[in-house]
Homo-oligomer: A and B are copies of this chain.
C-alpha cells in the first residue's frame, strides 16, 4: 500500500520533485516557509506546520538550502521531531554536512525513525523533468521502501553506503564539477589569448581524453558569454565550504578545490555570486584583461 508522502521545502528543486510525486499518483503533503510557494505546486496538499507533516506522513522528504535549515525544520518549535513516529522514514534530499547528517540520523533514531541522506544532482531542469541523479546513504531496506517514491523524480538512484555516504558522494561530485570547470576555464583562456576560433577548438577536443560534461555543456555558454546559472556561484561556494570542512576533518589535501573556492570568492566580492558556476573563467580574465568569446546580440 502506498504511503502518504511529506515534502518539506518548495524551492526550485523541491517544488519540481513534489509535483512529480503528485503526478505519479502519490498523496503528497507539503510545507514551505513561504506558504504561497507551496500553494502554487500542482496536485499537492499544504500543511499548516511541520509537526503536521511528520504526524500525518510515514515518509518525510526534505529539500532545503543548507545544514542549519535541515536542523531547523527538524528541531525547531512545532518542527518535524514533534510529530515524528516510530517506523517513520526521513529522506533528506538537501546537500548538507555528512557529519551533521550522522548526528541528525542518531537524533531521529531516538524516536524509532530511520534516515536516508539522498542528495540530488541534475539541477532544477532535472527536478522538473524527473531525471535527477540521487546518491543515497543509509540502510538498504529503507532505500527499498523509499525507491518507488524517489523514482518519481529520479533517473538514477545509487546506494553508496551507510548514513552520511550519500552526502559525501555529493561532495565528491562537487569536487569533480569545479575542478573540471577550472580546466575548461584555463583551456578557453589559452585558446582566446592565442587567437584560436573557440567553437572549432571545442569541437576538436571535446570527443577526446580532455572531454567532459562541463566542456560540452558549459563551454558553448562561456563562448557566448551567457552567464545564466544552471547552478549559482553562491550555491557552489556553500557546497565547497562543506567539501573543504570535510577534507579538513579527514586531513586530506585538495589543492585544486581550494584554489577554485578562492577564485569564486573573488567573484562573490564583485557581486557575481548569482551567476552560473561557469563564470569561474572571469576570475582568470580579471588577471589577464582578456575575455573569452563574444556575447550574442539580443535578437541574433
Contacts and interface: CB of A to CB of B under 8 A. Distances in A.
Contacts of A288: 251-253
Interface string A217-259: 1000000000000110000000000010011001111111101
A211 B181 CA distance: 11
A205 B98 CA distance: 17
How would you classify the secondary structure of chain A's contact residues: helix, strand, loop or mixed? helix
B214 A213 contact: no
A190 B173 CA distance: 10
Contacts of A159: 200
Nearest to A212: B212
Contact of A208 (B173, B201, B243): B173
B176 A252 contact: no
Given A179-B186, A201-B160, A252-B288, A213 B213 contact: no
Contacts of A254: 186, 189-190
Contact of A176 (B215, B231, B253, B259): B215
Given A176-B183, A259-B255, A284-B253, A190 B208 contact: no
B284 A196 contact: no
B183 A168 contact: no
B182 A256 contact: yes
A174 B204 CA distance: 12
Interface string A195-212: 111001101110111111
Interface of A: 98, 121-123, 133, 135, 156, 158-161, 165, 168-169, 171-180, 182-184, 186-191, 193-197, 200-201, 203-205, 207-215, 217, 230-231, 243, 246-247, 250-257, 259, 284, 287-288, 290
